[in-house]
Amino acid sequence: MSKPKVVVTRRWPEAAEARMKELFDVSLNATDTPMSAAELTRALKSADAVCPTVSDTFNAEVLDHDGLSAKILGNFGVGFNHVDLEAAKKRGLVVTNTPEVLTDCTADLAMTLMLMVARRAGEGERHVRTNAWTGWRPTHMMGAKVTGKTLGLIGFGRIARAMAHKAHFGFGMRILFNDPFPPSAEVVNALGATACATPEEVIASADFVSLHCPGGAATRHLMNAERLASMKPGAFLVNTARGDVVDQDALVAALKSGRLGGAGLDVYDGEPAVPESLKTLENVVLLPHLGSASLETRVAMGMRVIDNLEAYFAGRPPRDRVA
């Protein structure tokens, strides 16, 4: 019996690619060059499965074609707003993602951004590298204390809850959150968290606001000029969710005005493009979408994609089906 044909759109960790080779007739992207829309469509027409990442846009332009042979999109990542689910369903495509395995790694990075921007770590590191540091003095590069402050979480899924655990039990932080689908009271109480009825209630009370909601039309520019203006003076914004959740122009204006203490960003609207206006600000920490970027996590993500493909081709329901 022939193996299912699978196209992997970007390089994966070696262990995950090796497992792919064992199980499938796989086409790997050795150059790690992003595939064009036409190339993605050709992949859908030549393979039984395609494995995209967040950097691959599967919209109607890519999906709305006759003669597609692919039956499943095994997404490498937990977020899937880069896939037009309605267009995928129209073409009979199953879509899966990789939840759970990247939870702690992404929460760790959200904590990293919060600590870096509060303590001016990015600015300080540049200060040393450019030989600008002249020695210790009492008023040099004073930042904001993190321990004991209030952390507000917009979204309270797995990653947000992992961050809440680290922040509350590791740094004694008070936790506020808003989520339209909150977990049980038992989970909330175990994290020492308090539910808020609206995002505005969280934003107005938090010293640090961390975003953990999905991207897409429903949350586009959720952090707009009005909500940024309602943050506490000197508060900090952290985003490890999706870039389009933040109105970047409004954020730049809020940061330049001095009303916000700073921002820590791992994702951007239209990435990999990052506005020059953000790059020039010292009170922003900018990372290149590193949320899940540990070897252990990226291997686990690849294996989770493979598990979903194995289940599908064996006639079993994939555990992580989203469409």
Overall average pLDDT of the 50-57 stretch = 96
Is 82 considered catalytic here?
Answer: no
Helices 295-313, 14-23: axis angle to 10 degrees equals: 10
Give the tens place of pLDDT for each residue, 11-26: 999 999 999 999 999 9
Distance separating alpha carbons of residues 320 and 308, to the nearest angstrom: 7
* pLDDT given at position 53: 97
* pLDDT given at position 213: 96
Distance separating alpha carbons of residues 214 and 77, to the nearest angstrom: 12
Cβ partners under 8 Å of residue 91, min gap 6: 63, 64, 68
| One-letter amino acid for residue 126 of the chain | R
- What are the backbone angles phi and psi of residue 181, rounded to the nearest 5°? -130, 70
The pair of three-digit structure tokens given for residue 33, joined into one six-digit string = 């060059």
Is 226 considered catalytic here?
Answer: no
Write the DSSP symbol of residue 56: S
Q: Are 173 and 151 in contact (CB under 8 A)?
A: yes
Please check the confidence at residue 48 and state whether its pLDDT lies above 90.
yes
Give the tens place of pLDDT for each residue, 182-238: 999 999 999 999 999 999 999 999 999 999 999 999 999 999 999 999 999 999 999
The pair of three-digit structure tokens given for residue 123, joined into one six-digit string = 């600015």
All structural domains of the chain, each given as residue ranges with its CATH number in brackets, are 5-101+295-313 (3.40.50.720), 103-286 (3.40.50.720)
Q: Are 245 and 217 in contact (CB under 8 A)?
A: no
Angle at CA of residue 190, ends 293 and 175, nearest 5°: 65
Distance separating alpha carbons of residues 253 and 278, to the nearest angstrom: 10
Q: Looking at 19, 161, 212, 242, which residue is catalytic?
A: 242
Overall average pLDDT of the 87-101 stretch = 97
Dihedral in degrees, nearest 10, Cα atoms 271, 273, 279, 283: -20
Angle at CA of residue 151, ends 150 and 152, nearest 5°: 115
Q: Are 68 and 44 in contact (CB under 8 A)?
A: yes
Spell out the alpha helix ranges (H) of 130-192: 158-171, 185-190
Give the tens place of pLDDT for each residue, 249-258: 999 999 999 9
Per-residue DSSP letters for 287-320?
-SS-TT-SHHHHHHHHHHHHHHHHHHHTTSPPTT
Please check the confidence at residue 1 and state whether its pLDDT lies above 90.
no
Is 242 considered catalytic here?
Answer: yes
Q: How far is CA 87 from CA 91, 92, 143, 206, 312, in A?
A: 6, 9, 48, 39, 20
Share of the chain above pLDDT 70, in %: 100
Q: Looking at 39, 271, 310, 321, which residue is catalytic?
A: 271
Overall average pLDDT of the 63-71 stretch = 96
Distance separating alpha carbons of residues 109 and 115, to the nearest angstrom: 10
Helix (H, G, I), strand (E, B), or coil: what is residue 13?
coil
Angle at CA of residue 244, ends 304 and 42, nearest 5°: 55
Helices 158-171, 103-118: axis angle to 10 degrees equals: 50
Mean pLDDT score of the chain: 97
Helix (H, G, I), strand (E, B), or coil: what is residue 152?
strand
Write the DSSP symbol of residue 274: -
Overall average pLDDT of the 289-312 stretch = 98
Q: Looking at 289, 298, 310, 319, which residue is catalytic?
A: 289
Give the tens place of pLDDT for each residue, 274-293: 999 999 999 999 999 999 99
Spell out the alpha helix ranges (H) of the chain: 14-23, 37-46, 60-63, 85-90, 103-118, 121-129, 158-171, 185-190, 199-205, 225-229, 248-257, 276-279, 295-313
